Structure formats: structure tokens, C-alpha cells
Amino acid sequence: MLNVLHLINYPGKGGTEKYILSLAERLHGNGCTFYLGHSEDGPMLDTVRQLGIETIHIPMKSPYDFRAAIAVKETCRKLGIDIIHTHFLRENYISIISKLAGNKAAVIYTHHMLTEKNAVLRMSNKLFTAMDDRIIAVSRAVRDMMVSEGISPSKIEVIYNGVDCDYWTGQRSMKFRKEFGISEDDFVITSAARFSEEKGHAFLLEAIKDFKGQAAKCPEGFAQRVKFVLVGDGELLEKARKLAAELGISDITVFTGYRTDIRNILLDSDLYVSHSKSESLGISILEALACGLPVVSTDSGGPSEIINGGTGCGILIKYGDTESFAGAVLRLVTDKSLYAALKSKTVKTVKNMFSLEKTAGETYNLYKSSLAKSRKAV
């Protein structure tokens, strides 16, 4: 049984937290014993504890917090930790410093983000990640970015995020539609994303305006039978509401705020849209596909590894081209044969390439090989 310490500064409710929980559901008690080290309290902690995972409070004030590094070292000694699995630079740097201070645990770092770094951060990242035992990139796009920043490709293993198809498969309940006054006959197009700059909601709202304009050429009342459902909260939510009103699309746009019933919302939907400026892979895209929804997405990095000619489960559009994005959505609303063709590939794509079993299995194998190599080097 491998003892694995996951480190995360703030255990919130984002994609990284979903990733940790997914691994925990498959590996904790099944080849691994997971522990979670955290600096701040957050909504993820209750879920982790319900899974029977011990949580350890480790204050981590900065990436170079030596006290935190010593605390990590002592935690690993006390619990007999074999693997430290980190997910952000702060926790990764602290773990590397703990190794320099004598910690014997192997360090694996999952790089979840597809973001540009300044020259200073690139240099420090190159130095610190050189001391990681292995690095997981959640997509080829992330791997290529890391290699371009000077990280050795031999350190990097691409392991795609995965989702549990059994969980996401189901039947429509119509509860969500009834709650928001959406007819059973309406065509529902859903987006689920935090309202932040990189998620590109302004682009989506402009595309909805273009959709409404293009739909004006369709039979009278057509546009009103289509509803764009925007799920999520964040610092830009109110700004997005105001923009929707200014663009004259409030009649076909629904803002739900933060929801815990995203599965039911997706099952009550007909199409999913992803509109990020930059996306490492797109866990929300995988969840939508697992629910049987075709996807229209911006070509923003990782999504092209999910949606392409080989998978045939959606349409990619260049970020910024609101007219083409709107046109792709309109085609899928009106062209039933095209919609059916894409829909038939959705669940199959996830099962073949992005299943949670595949992700967990590949991660467990990397744990074992990294530990063996680390012990051999000692």
C-alpha cells in the first residue's frame, strides 16, 4: 500500500480539487492510502473527510516557506509517506525544499494550467521542477508549454484527466428546466465555468448576440425557443449580467449562479459550449460529453485533444470569432443529422480516451515507478 500525501494550499471547488477527489475515489484504499495537506480551510475538506482521508493542516505562506518545508518533511516521516503529489507551484516548491532538507519521499507534480509565465518565474520553475521525480501534464498542450520553458521532456508524463462515465450517464429529470421556467421543448445550451477573465464569458455573450442575429433569419420565435444557461459564480458574474442586458440577450440567457447539481443540469441540456481563452484540457467538456452532449468549444489548447477529426464529438472555433462560434451553435440547433452524428460519438470518446479508470491506473503506475526510481537513487 502506497502512502500518498496530496498538498494543496486552498482546498476549494475547482478543477484541481475535482482531479484530487477523482483519484481518491479510485485509489484510496485500493493500492494507496491518501492524505491531504492543506494551508487554508475550504469546501473540499468535508468531502475528503467523508472519503475517510486524513487531513493535515500545514501553513504554507509562500513558495519558499522553509518552516512549511520542515513541516512537510516531519509529516512525511510521521506518516511514512512514499509519494508527495503536488498541484500548484507553491506546494511543489515547498516539497522540493523539504527534499533538500532530507525528506526521502518522491515528489510528483501535476501541472494543471496552460498559462504563460514571466522570465523570473520560468527560471525558478525550471530550477525547482528539475528536482521533481516526475511531472504529470494533463494534456499534450501543457507538456509542450513546459518543454518550451526549458523543462526536460524525459521528466514529463502526459496523463489525461478522466471522468466517471457511470456517474454522468442518466435520464432527464426536467427539475432544472422547471425551476427556471424553461420549456421541455426548448433547446438548452449550457456553459459551466467560473466567471473569471480567462474563461471568456464576454466572448460567449457576444457570440450569443450574434446567434440571436443569425437566428432572426429562421422562422418567427425560433430564437426564443433556445436558452443559453450559464452556470457558475465568480468575480465577473455581475459584470456578465450587465453585459447580457446591454447586448439585448437577457431573454435567451439564464444565469444560475453556483450550483451543486451540475449533473442534472447537463442531463437536462442539449448542447455544451466551452469558451475559454486558454484551457489545459477541459474537465467540464469531458463531463458534458459523458452526459451525451455534443460540444462547441474555442480552440484554446487542450480542447483540440478532445474534439478533433478522430473523435468527431464537437466543433472547434478560434477564440475571438464570435460569428463562427454562433454559426456552429446554430448549425447544431437546426441540423438534426449533424447533431445526431456528433452526439453518437460523445460517450464513446470519454470511455475510450478519458475514463477515470484510465487516469487512475496510469497515475498509480507512475507512483510505483517513481518510488522505485527514487529509492534506487538513494
**How confident is the model over 336-371, as pLDDT tens digits?**
999 999 999 999 999 999 999 999 999 999 999 998
β-pair partners for 57: 38
Q: What's the pTM?
A: 0.92
DSSP symbols for 163-178: B-HHHH------HHHH
Cα-based distances in Å from 356 to 69, 165, 274: 31, 8, 21
* 295-298, strands of its sheet edge to edge: 253-257, 226-231, 187-192, 271-274, 295-298, 314-317
- CATH number (domain holding residue 103): 3.40.50.2000
C-alpha–C-alpha distance, residues 92 and 115, integer Å: 17
Provide mean pLDDT across the span 218-231: 92
pLDDT digits (tens, 9 = 90+) for 130-168: 899 999 999 999 999 999 988 999 999 999 999 999 999
DSSP symbols for 52-121: T-EEEE----STT-HHHHHHHHHHHHHHT--EEEE-SHHHHHHHHHHHHTT--SEEEEEE-------HHH
DSSP symbols for 25-50: HHHBTTTEEEEEEESS--THHHHHHH
Q: Are residues 158 and 181 in the same domain?
A: no
CB atoms within 10 A of CB 49: 12
pLDDT at 116: 66
pLDDT at 200: 97
Q: Are residues 22 and 154 in the same domain?
A: yes
Q: Are residues 135 and 181 in the same domain?
A: no
pLDDT band at 223 (very low <50, low <70, confident <90, very high): confident
pLDDT band at 15 (very low <50, low <70, confident <90, very high): confident
C-alpha–C-alpha distance, residues 42 and 12, integer Å: 5
**In angstroms, how far is the first alpha carbon of the chain from the final one?**
21
Alpha helices, H only, 132-236 = 140-148, 165-168, 175-179, 201-215
pLDDT digits (tens, 9 = 90+) for 36-91: 999 999 999 999 999 999 999 999 999 999 999 999 999 999 999 999 999 999 99
CB atoms within 10 A of CB 183: 13
Least Cα distance to 232 among 208, 184, 198 occurs for 198
Is pLDDT at 324 greater than 80 in this prediction?
A: yes
Q: Are residues 306 and 361 in the same domain?
A: no
pLDDT digits (tens, 9 = 90+) for 158-201: 999 999 999 999 999 999 999 999 999 999 999 999 999 999 99
Q: Are residues 91 and 106 in the same domain?
A: yes
Q: Are residues 122 and 264 in the same domain?
A: no
Average pLDDT of the chain, as a whole number: 94
Contacts of residues 124-132 at CB distance under 8 Å and 24 or more positions apart, as own/partner, are 124/93, 125/89, 125/149, 125/151, 126/150, 126/151, 128/89, 128/92, 128/93, 128/96, 129/92, 129/155, 130/155, 131/96, 131/99, 131/100, 131/107, 132/92, 132/96, 132/107, 132/108
pLDDT digits (tens, 9 = 90+) for 23-48: 999 999 999 999 999 999 999 999 99
- Asked if 329 contacts 309 with a C-beta cutoff of 8 angstroms, the reply is no
pLDDT band at 124 (very low <50, low <70, confident <90, very high): confident
Domain hosting residue 316, numbered range: 165-353
pLDDT at 188: 98
Q: Are residues 189 and 58 in the same domain?
A: no
Q: Are residues 209 and 339 in the same domain?
A: yes
Q: Are residues 99 and 148 in the same domain?
A: yes
pLDDT digits (tens, 9 = 90+) for 93-121: 999 999 999 999 999 999 998 776 677 77
Q: Are residues 373 and 304 in the same domain?
A: no
pLDDT band at 129 (very low <50, low <70, confident <90, very high): confident
**78: which 3 cell numbers?**
510521521
pLDDT band at 378 (very low <50, low <70, confident <90, very high): low
pLDDT at 373: 76
- AA letter at 10: Y
Q: Are residues 191 and 117 in the same domain?
A: no
- Measured in residues, the chain has a length of 378
Q: Are residues 12 and 115 in the same domain?
A: yes
Domain count, the chain: 2
**60: which 3 cell numbers?**
504554507
pLDDT at 374: 72
Share of the chain above pLDDT 90, in %: 88
